[in-house]
Chain A
Amino acid sequence: MSKNYSILDLIRRNRSPLENHLIDGLVDGRVSRRDFVRHGSLLGLSLPLLGRIGMAAGLGGMPSLARAQGAPGATIRVASSVPAATIDPVTIADAGGLLVMQQVAEFLCVDGPDLVLQPALAESWKPNDTGTVWTFKLRKGVKFHSGGEMKADDVVASIDRLADPANSSNALSVFTGILQKGASKKVDDYTVEFHLDAPNGNFPYMLSSDNYNAVIIPASYKGDYEKSFDGTGPFKIEKYTAKVGASFVRNEDYWGPKALPERTEFTFFTDTQPQILALQGGQVDIINQLPVLAGVALLNDPNIDIISLKSSAHQQLHMRCDEGPLKDARVRRAIALCLDRDKLAAGLMKGRSALGNDSPFAAVYPSTDTSVPQRKQDIAQAKQLMEAAGLGQGFKITLTTERYLEIPEYAQLIQNWVKEIGVELDLNILDQGGYYGDAVFGKSNWLDSVMGITDYGHRGVPNVYLAAPLKSEGTWNAAHFKNKDYDALATSYIAALDLEAQKADAGKIQKLLLEETPVIFGYFYDYLTATAKGVAGVQPTAMSQLFLDKASKA
């Protein structure tokens, strides 16, 4: 298809330099269509507009996010983990609890499949020239279940509540150094400005479903969320019983298209196996989150469909850079070279993962520099590095980790692989409480262990992974990695608004981390949701959310 420059010029006329640079990248072929959509959505360009630009650039229409409509009126039954604590948008931290909350309360935007940001309570957003102020335009006519209209005051109060250190906010770690209490400003009833501590090119993700606490609830909220379950969502609470389950009914006053299901039911399970049996026994229609090893029986079951989302979730294998034999970067690289990543992806993860290249830049991120060579197993080179470091005879060391998902099996594989270069690995596998401890340096096996594996959940942008576990002053820097060049590159990446600038920084970070290897990123696992055959229109996110407004049953 040929390019239509007259339409492109028309579109470019009202756009900011940043947006036009992205459009130029698409037209010139520097930016792929997929990356253009994802980064365009981050800059606040609407999906229809992105589609028009794609057509004008001769690339055809953009992939439609619309789903086929099924029959209305179903009751959709979901198996979920038990909410670990009382459900409160400010403090909630677990998958079971946020799944319930997300049924009734909505975000300003949603980090959808393929990491494209979709408008929800915000219709659009855009940064200033430096990325220090982001302006969000709110949707009009949105009603809370309790009756009032959602306006800028509610958005400001909801985000301020999360940014306030006095509120026990679980989102405080997301906002620290980025957005302070009082920095969210109402411009008018339908416009809010967020004044950031520093430039941030990915800020909309922090107000999206990616930051699962960032739902918008009334400004008057004072606590006791389980008494109201107030929100703006397509479903309203019918009944909630702690530790047992929850049910929801369609919200007839919803601002968008009405939900297809008449009711949804959530049943809480403390373990995965009973969820699997319940799905096989026809007592539930969906398992929200299916760990790959526990769910092997379902992966090839003809009566079950698996929704597989590419994600950035991974297991970080950290190595202490400040003491012991791992202080030498050559030794850390040698250990990383022992891993057979193809076997990890195909065997351990049953093909439901993408290869990691020892940096947090997963393949799903548009900013990832794919020209950086993939690290592969190379025992000969690993042995040479050990010799060069004066450790050709090997050494003995302890790998401390948590009993969670496939981590124990992953640790055993590593234990076997590093034997080939003389490294004798003792495994110290703890329950999660024992591993994380108080989660501060000096009181945590996670942060104090010489070598460890830690589960990191999905994020739509790599900002958190780049800062907390890898920056010199990072609060989760278990590797005790201190590198000024890295810190500067990470800061530069986080500030960059432009995709190509992000890519340039990403490439430098990827190369630096391959050289230093404080953390091994072996693979990025897919987020799996299992549904019974005939259940359609289910939209999970890799953050454990589940959108059921378009769900139906055959």
Chain B
Amino acid sequence: MVFLGGQVLPGNVGRAILGPFADQRAVDALNHTLGVDRPLLTQYWGWISNFVQGDMGTSYIFRSPVAPFVIDALGNSMKLATVAFVLVVPIGILGGVVAALNLNRPLDRIISLGGLSVTVLPEFVTGIILILIFGVWLRWLPISAAWPRDAGFFTQLYYLILPSLPLFLVLFGYIARMARSGMIEALDSDYTRTAVLKGLPWRTVIWRHVLRNALLPTITVIATQTGYLIGGLVVIETLFRYQGIGSLIFTAARGKDFPMLESGILTIGIVYAVATLIADFLYSMLNPRIRLGSDQ
């Protein structure tokens, strides 16, 4: 689909590389060198047959193997996503739990409305505001996420704080809202009432009966956001000059660099599939009734 979709876009690879003002003979020569003047089926078959053998092909734009670009970019995206997740998942769930336990009180309203407000703000708005405050005015944090060469773990972490904050703001309201509604539903359920009536301590009721059930939908939401965090961060990556897979795919699409584009998109597809698998696994861990082979 990506391959066919790319073919209907105007222009060709040679023209994208040499620019609109290049001589047509030079463009034709480059297209021939790159092999993009071959029939489409030949080109596609060449790429897919190599891909299934683990060879992602050679970039038209960079004239070097695609795999190192995709692996580097995926690694970078996962680093950023991990930092964002580590920040937002516990705080988002905690926010939702606290809001549900304080239902309709001022704290609930602050968390719910505050979360909703920051969620609807686009990343480029919050990103620029955060850069201006922490990068330009206070100069506490680097405004670029590209860390220096040979940077250690903590230096890399330091460089990732600022770009992860807009992601935190986008996801916080979403996760907190899901956790809150799950909690409200679980708190209102028969099994919670039974546990309370059995005389179990409130802390045990919350930890063993309420949270376990309340977080099931939240986990599904978190899993679906994994794909976004890995592959959909073009705006953040552009703003913070971060070499993630989102910007890699965006650049490849603009340059009609199909080996890079197709490999990047397929890689994100694999990430989505793995994230969903992990979510299913966690779901089954928390809800024994849906475990395969279980007779409960």
- List A residues at the B interface (Cβ < 8 Å): 82, 84-86, 91, 93-94, 165-170, 172-173, 176, 239, 242-245, 267-271, 273-274, 277-278, 280-283, 432-434, 436-440, 443, 445-446, 468, 475-476
As a 0/1 sequence over residues 117 to 136 of chain B, the CB contacts with chain A under 8 angstroms (1 = contact) are 00000000000100110011
Query: Looking at the complex, which one of A94, A434, A475 makes contact with B10 (CB distance below 8 Å)?
Result: A434
CA A271 – CA B23 in complex, angstroms? 28
Cβ-closest 10 pairs across A and B: A168-B30, A172-B23, A436-B20, A93-B19, A437-B10, A165-B25, A173-B23, A439-B20, A168-B29, A172-B26
Nearest-neighbour CB distance to chain A for B67, whole angstroms, equals: 14
As a 0/1 sequence over residues 196 to 236 of chain B, the CB contacts with chain A under 8 angstroms (1 = contact) are 00000000000000000000000000000000000000000
Does any Cβ of A come within 8 Å of B62's Cβ?
A: yes
Q: Are B241 and A269 in contact (CB under 8 A)?
A: yes
Residues in B with CB closer than 8 Å to A281 are 131, 135-136, 139, 142-143
Q: Are A172 and B63 in contact (CB under 8 A)?
A: no
Q: Are A277 and B131 in contact (CB under 8 A)?
A: yes
Question: Which among A173, A280, A281, A432 has the highest number of chain B CB atoms within 10 Å?
Answer: A281
Q: Are A85 and B243 in contact (CB under 8 A)?
A: no
List 17 additional contacts besides A85-B61, A86-B63; criterion CB under 8 Å. Answer: A82-B251, A84-B17, A86-B61, A86-B64, A91-B30, A166-B29, A168-B18, A242-B64, A243-B69, A244-B243, A270-B247, A433-B11, A436-B20, A438-B11, A438-B12, A439-B20, A440-B24
Q: Are A438 and B21 in contact (CB under 8 A)?
A: no
Nearest-neighbour CB distance to chain A for B57, whole angstroms, equals: 15
Does any Cβ of A come within 8 Å of B292's Cβ?
A: no
Question: Which among B17, B131, B132, B135 has the highest number of chain A CB atoms within 10 Å?
Answer: B17
Tally of contacts, chain A with chain B, CB under 8 A? 132
Does any Cβ of A come within 8 Å of B180's Cβ?
A: no
Residues in B with CB closer than 8 Å to A436 are 10-11, 15, 20
Residues in A with CB closer than 8 Å to B22 are 93, 170, 172-173, 439
Known: A91-B30, A274-B238. A439 touches B15 (CB 8 A): yes
CA A277 – CA B139 in complex, angstroms? 11
CA A242 – CA B64 in complex, angstroms? 11
Nearest-neighbour CB distance to chain B for A318, whole angstroms, equals: 14
Sample (30) of A-B pairs whose CB atoms are under 8 Å apart: A84-B17, A85-B62, A86-B61, A86-B62, A91-B17, A93-B19, A167-B26, A167-B29, A168-B14, A168-B30, A170-B19, A242-B64, A243-B69, A244-B146, A245-B146, A278-B143, A278-B241, A281-B131, A281-B136, A432-B20, A433-B11, A433-B254, A436-B11, A436-B15, A437-B10, A438-B11, A439-B15, A475-B23, A475-B24, A476-B21
Return the chain A residue nearest B60 by Cβ. Answer: A85
Residues in A with CB closer than 8 Å to B20 are 432, 436, 439, 446
B1-20 interface with A by 8 A CB criterion: 9-12, 14-20
Return the chain B residue nearest A447 by Cβ. Answer: B20
B52-67 interface with A by 8 A CB criterion: 61-64
Q: Are B29 and A283 in contact (CB under 8 A)?
A: no
Residues in B with CB closer than 8 Å to A270 are 238, 241, 247, 251
Known: A281-B136, A437-B10. A94 touches B143 (CB 8 A): no
Q: Are B30 and A433 in contact (CB under 8 A)?
A: no
CA A440 – CA B20 in complex, angstroms? 9
Does any Cβ of A come within 8 Å of B105's Cβ?
A: no
Residues in B with CB closer than 8 Å to A277 are 128, 131-132, 135-136, 143
Residues in A with CB closer than 8 Å to B16 are 433
Nearest-neighbour CB distance to chain B for A247, whole angstroms, equals: 9
Known: A167-B29, A168-B26, A270-B247. A437 touches B144 (CB 8 A): no
Known: A267-B146, A281-B136. A172 touches B62 (CB 8 A): no
Return the chain A residue nearest B254 by Cβ. Answer: A433
Residues in A with CB closer than 8 Å to B64 are 86, 242
Q: Are B144 and A283 in contact (CB under 8 A)?
A: yes
Does any Cβ of A come within 8 Å of B240's Cβ?
A: yes
Q: Are B255 and A84 in contact (CB under 8 A)?
A: yes
Residues in B with CB closer than 8 Å to A242 are 62, 64, 69
Residues in A with CB closer than 8 Å to B9 are 433
Return the chain A residue nearest B33 by Cβ. Answer: A168
Residues in B with CB closer than 8 Å to A245 are 146
Q: Are B19 and A94 in contact (CB under 8 A)?
A: yes
Question: Which among B18, B248, B254 has the highest number of chain A CB atoms within 10 Å?
Answer: B18
Residues in A with CB closer than 8 Å to B11 are 433, 436-439
CA A437 – CA B12 in complex, angstroms? 8
Return the chain B residue nearest A223 by Cβ. Answer: B63
Does any Cβ of A come within 8 Å of B107's Cβ?
A: no
CA A539 – CA B130 in complex, angstroms? 33
Known: A84-B61, A243-B243, A274-B239. A267 touches B144 (CB 8 A): yes
Known: A93-B17, A277-B136, A433-B254. A283 touches B142 (CB 8 A): yes
Q: Are B29 and A438 in contact (CB under 8 A)?
A: no
Residues in B with CB closer than 8 Å to A91 are 17-18, 26, 30
Nearest-neighbour CB distance to chain A for B51, whole angstroms, equals: 21
CA A280 – CA B240 in complex, angstroms? 14
Nearest-neighbour CB distance to chain B for A165, whole angstroms, equals: 4
Query: Looking at the complex, which one of B10, B23, B144 makes contact with A176 (CB distance below 8 Å)?
Result: B23
Residues in B with CB closer than 8 Å to A244 are 146, 243
CA A468 – CA B239 in complex, angstroms? 38
CA A491 – CA B143 in complex, angstroms? 52
Query: Looking at the complex, which one of A267, A438, A446 makes contact with B241 (CB distance below 8 Å)?
Result: A267
Query: Looking at the complex, which one of B18, B132, B136, B143 makes contact with A170 (CB distance below 8 Å)?
Result: B18
As a 0/1 sequence over residues 22 to 42 of chain B, the CB contacts with chain A under 8 angstroms (1 = contact) are 111111011001000000000
Q: Are A438 and B255 in contact (CB under 8 A)?
A: no
CA A82 – CA B247 in complex, angstroms? 12
CA A432 – CA B19 in complex, angstroms? 10
CA A271 – CA B124 in complex, angstroms? 12
Return the chain A residue nearest B146 by Cβ. Answer: A244
Return the chain A residue nearest B256 by Cβ. Answer: A433
Q: Are A165 and B241 in contact (CB under 8 A)?
A: no
Residues in A with CB closer than 8 Å to B139 are 281-282
Query: Looking at the complex, which one of A85, A283, A475 makes contact with B143 (CB distance below 8 Å)?
Result: A283
CA A267 – CA B136 in complex, angstroms? 18
Residues in B with CB closer than 8 Å to A439 are 11, 15, 20-22, 24, 27
